[in-house]
Structure 1
Amino acid sequence: MTKKYKIISKFIKDLSSETPNVETYLFVRDNISNYQLNINITSKALKNKLIEINTTLKFEDPSENTHKSHFEIVSATIVQVTNEIKEKDELQKIILCDVQNEIYDELTKSFLNLLHNSGYPNIKFEKKIDFEELYNQKFN
């Protein structure tokens, strides 16, 4: 099966690590296991069958404590789709599933570098996100 899209370019649009003070750093370091990885995917149509896909990863503490650090990366992927794409659901699958599967490993590697360089060297994301499964849960 031939791909109906081509990744033209990708780049880090925004990168953020915020730890306001030493007390917060020490608290977060001891409680980093409470943090969860969240993902958000948005897209915007451009000219000439181009689409900008923004994939945001946030590593955050869902609890209500006052000592929190903020970690976020936004990756932009520019994709050109072929004329063969006629259905909206076909385009959705490319944006939410196919492109994500292609960029995810590199994106998480960049994000983990940010976390490690921010003073949290032992963080790993054990579970790889199954975009195919998430897509099927949402749309089937």
Structure 2
Amino acid sequence: MHSRSSPGGSRPSIISSKDRNGRVVVSVSILNSQDTATLYVEDWLALITAHGFSAFYRNKAVRHAGHVLFKSKRDKRVYVVARIIMGDRKESMVEVADGDLTNLRRSNLYYRKGGTGGIRRSDGKARAGVTGGDLGTGAASVA
């Protein structure tokens, strides 16, 4: 397991490890939460290559609470990490299979046809109005 953090806490700590399937994952601390977000290392590397290294934080808005977000260093826009990982399909919802909005492994995310291009947890709680982009285009917006 490898760890990296920056002095002063302005950047998240990052811990890499292998999951139970032997895939390398990174756990990224979420600055405004005690939680960490977990995603595959290849998605993390694609994210920071496209947008620069940025802190993750949780959306605290009542209607869309819990989403893991980040602000791009390149275009200064806020993105929903799950939608960036999966790519933005305007007429599809990103579902979280286990209901944990911090489990951002591709194996835990999937599309459901229809909807408003938002994100939804498997427990049926809609996340309509939250959109994203992909690793090259589109910013998140919370309606």
What TM-score range do you get, normalising by the shorter chain? under 0.3
Task: Please report the TM-score for the alignment, with normalisation by the length of structure 1.
Answer: 0.25
Task: Please report the TM-score for the alignment, with normalisation by the length of structure 2.
Answer: 0.25
- When Rg is computed on C-alpha atoms for both structures, the one with the higher figure is 1
Task: Specify which structure has the higher proportion of helix.
Answer: 1
